[in-house]
Amino acid sequence: MHSSPEAFAHRVAELIDRLARLTRELQFVHGLNPAQWEALRFLARANRYSRSPGALAEFLGTTKGTASQTLIALENKGYIARARSDTDRRAMHLELTPEGQALLAQDPILTIEQAAGRLSGEVGNPLVQGLSRLLHDLQHKNGIKEFGVCGDCTLLCVKGQAAAPDESSQCGLTGDSLSTEDVARLCVNFQRHDA
C-alpha cells in the first residue's frame, strides 16, 4: 500500500480528483450540464427553507447570478417552477415539476450510487465517515457553508429541548414544526453538532 502519510494523502487527493472528473463527465446527458443536475438534486432533497435561489447558490458554491442562469435554463426546460412565498412576497420558492422529478429517475449519479452500493459495509462505512470528515474539514477551512439534514442539526428541538427526530420535532431557529420527512431534508440553516 502507501508507506507514508504523505503518499496516502497524495493518493486520496488523486482518487477524489479522478472521481470528480468522471462524475462531471457523466452529467452531460439529457440536455443538462452538471450544475443543472446538481440543482435538480438539491431541490429534490431541500427542505422548505432551502428551496430558494440564494440557498441554491450557497449550495453550489457560486454567485446568485450564476445560480439564476441555471434556474432559468431548468425553468425553460420545464423541470422547475418558481412561485412567490406565501409568507414573504419578496422571496421566491422553487419546486420540481413532475417532469423534473421524472428526470431524476435517470440521474447519471445513480451509476455511481449503484457502484458504491456494491461495496461491503466493511469498506463502505469507513469510506463514508472519512469522506464526510474530509468534506467538513475542507468546508470549514475555506469558509464554505455546510448543508446538512435537520436530524443532524443542533437546532433540532422537541418542546424546546435538543432531541432525536420524531413527530413532535421543531426547528429551534424558526420555531416551526417539522415532520419526519422535513427532518430528513437538507437545510440552509444547518448547524453541525461539535465533532
CATH class of 5-118: mainly alpha
* Position 195 pLDDT exceeds 70: no
Q: Where are the domains of the chain?
A: 5-118
DSSP string, 142-164: TTPPP-EEGGGBTTEEETTEE--
User: SS3 sequence, 103-133?
Assistant: HHCCCCHHHHHHHHHCCCHHHHHHHHHHHHH
pLDDT of res. 152 = 85
What predicted TM-score, i.e. pTM, was given to this entire model? Answer: 0.84
Q: What is the mean pLDDT of residues 161-188?
A: 78
* Position 173 pLDDT exceeds 90: no
pLDDT in tens, 70-120: 999 999 999 999 987 776 667 788 999 999 999 999 999 999 999 999 998
Let me know the angle formed at the C-alpha of 32 by 92 and 28, rounded to the nearest 5 degrees: 145
